[in-house]
Amino acid sequence: MASAVAAEIKARPDLGLDLVGFLEAPGSRSKGRLPAPRIGEAVEVEESVARYRLNKLIVALDEQRGVLPVRELLRLRTRGLEIEDARQAMSALAGRIPLETVQATWFIFSGGFRRSRSGMALKRCVDLALSLLGLLFCAPLMALVAAAIPLDSPGSSLFRQLRVGYGGKPFYVLKFRTMGADAEADGVAKWAQRDDPRITRLGRWLRRYRLDELPQFLNVIRGEMSFVGPRPERPEFIEKLRLSIPYYDERHTLRPGITGWAQVRYRYGASAQDSFRKLEYDLFYLKNVGFLFDCAIVLETARIVLLGRGR
């Protein structure tokens, strides 16, 4: 955990943080190379703070009971030294919650995860406004796409697929079809790959600019989705993912979104491991959900679409 936090710090020179080194707990020896030198033991924390003139400590001990120098840290904290838990630091640095190291108590006692009535009402009003404006301005483009899809691949232009939404309730998400009409002729649900051969020529272009998502404005207006939120997943995949990924069902405590923090921060997911990583971003969004955060995600989505960096 300490190495992961250190790597994130080194990857963010804009933060102005100078990583001095590591203090190890008694009996602990780091495996492999650390991205900074080992400067002493954890019990020497007061001496190390004075010697290296440290102004911030990040505590990354997995088993804190019996090895954490509580008295020394308490004295340093009351003298004004900034001390931060590694999981909280990782969350702030990387924009995700590291599921390999957090326990349920971390979620219970950490800040965030607020759901005020006024905040949710504002989110719903913004959803309706953006979706109605989206339909109004994109109607000509949507008509053009709907007419072009059958010319490229026989079949209907619109595609309805069962997904799991708020509270675990199923609904049909609307999309422009980007695969052949017989993409799942055997009836078996399959992950969509980045260079999936089932994707049509036009479908590849629609996915690149995320134009296949435009019909979901209707899902938002009907209250099945939000403009910003976790991506809705298929029930066939969820049955498997909830057995192997902790806290997976927590992503259903908000309406799923057309776009979201995981969508703009992580590559297109096509495996259980990708779903694990995307859940870390989804949980970070759930922890920090708010109007300004949603605005930032919408702006980042617009940038991705305009640059053609979609799937």
* pLDDT tens for each residue of 173-193: 999 999 887 666 565 666 666
Over residues 13-38, the mean pLDDT reads 79
- The answer to whether 30 and 58 are in contact (CB under 8 A) is no
- pLDDT beyond 70 at 143: yes
Q: Is 274 contained in some domain?
A: yes
Say if residue 163 is in the same domain as residue 279.
yes
Q: Could you give the CA distance from residue 120 to residue 111 in angstroms, rounded to a whole number? A: 18
The answer to whether residue 105 is domain-embedded is no
Give me the domain span that covers residue 69: 2-94
For 265-282, write each residue's pLDDT tens digit: 987 766 788 899 999 999
Burial code (b: 16+ CB inside 10 Å, e: under 16) for 46-75 equals bebbeeeebeebbbbbeeeeebebeebbee
With pLDDT > 90 as the criterion, what percentage of the chain qualifies? 54
- Give 32's pLDDT tier (boundaries 50, 70, 90): low
The answer to the question of residue 195 being in a domain is yes
Per-residue pLDDT for 46 more than 70?
Answer: yes
Could you tell me if residue 100 is inside a domain? Answer: no
Q: Are residues 255 and 128 in the same domain?
A: yes
Please check whether residue 209 lies inside any domain of the structure.
Answer: yes
Looking at the structure, tell me whether residues 89 and 28 fall in a common domain: yes
Give a yes or no: residue 90 inside a domain.
yes
Whether residue 256 is found in the same domain as residue 198: yes
pLDDT of residue 310: 63
**d(Cα 73, Cα 204) in Å, to the nearest integer?**
55
DSSP reduced 3-state for 175: strand
In the predicted model, what is the mean pLDDT of residues 205-219? 93
Q: Identify whether residues 124 and 89 lie together within a single domain.
A: no
User: 101 is written with which tokens?
Assistant: 């190291």
Domain end among 94, 127, 155: 94
Give the per-residue pLDDT at 272.
81
Smallest CA-to-CA distance from 96 within 267, 286, 294, 283 is with 283
The string of DSSP codes covering 193-231 is PTT-TTB-HHHHHHHHTTGGGTTHHHHHHTTS-EEESPP
pLDDT at 65 over 60: no
Residue 17 phi/psi, 5-degree rounding, is -95, 135
The answer to whether position 126 is within a domain reads: yes
Q: 140 and 75, same structural domain? A: no
Could you tell me if 276 and 214 lie in one domain? yes
Query: What average pLDDT score do residues 288-300 get?
Result: 94
pLDDT of 292 higher than 90: yes
Tell me how far apart the alpha carbons of residues 27 and 42 are, in angstroms, rounded to a whole number: 11
pLDDT of residue 309: 72
Same domain, 196 and 239: yes
pLDDT of 168 > 80? The answer is yes
When pLDDT is averaged across residues 84-99 and rounded to a whole number, the result is 90
Q: What is the pLDDT of residue 141?
A: 95
Look at the chain and report how many structural domains it folds into.
2
Same-domain pairing of 75 and 122 = no
Q: SS3 for 163?
A: strand
pLDDT value at residue 45 = 92
- H or E element in which residue 41 lies: strand 38-41
121 in the same domain as 77: no
**pLDDT confidence bin for 66, thresholds 50/70/90:** low
| Together in a domain, 258 and 160 | yes
Residues recorded for the chain: 311
* 307: pLDDT strictly greater than 90: no
Strands 158-164, 170-176: pairing kind: antiparallel
Does residue 64 carry a pLDDT above 60? no
| Per-residue pLDDT, 183 | 65
What is the rounded radius of gyration, in angstroms, for the C-alpha atoms of the chain? 23
Question: How many angstroms separate the CA atoms of 180 and 203, rounded?
Answer: 9
* 88, 175: one domain: no
Q: Which of 89-93, 105-109, 160-164, 306-310 has the highest mean pLDDT?
A: 160-164
Q: What SS3 state is found at 24?
A: strand
User: What is the distance between the alpha carbons of residues 170 and 162, in angstroms, rounded to a whole number?
Assistant: 7
Residue 128 counted as domain residue: yes
Q: What CA–CA distance (Å, rounded) separates 64 from 26?
A: 11
Helix or strand (DSSP H, E) at 117: helix 117-152
State the pLDDT at residue 56.
Answer: 93
In this predicted structure, what is the pLDDT of residue 15? 85
Q: Considering the chain, what is the average pLDDT of its residues?
A: 88
Q: Which of 306, 300, 309 is nearest to 281 (CA)?
A: 300
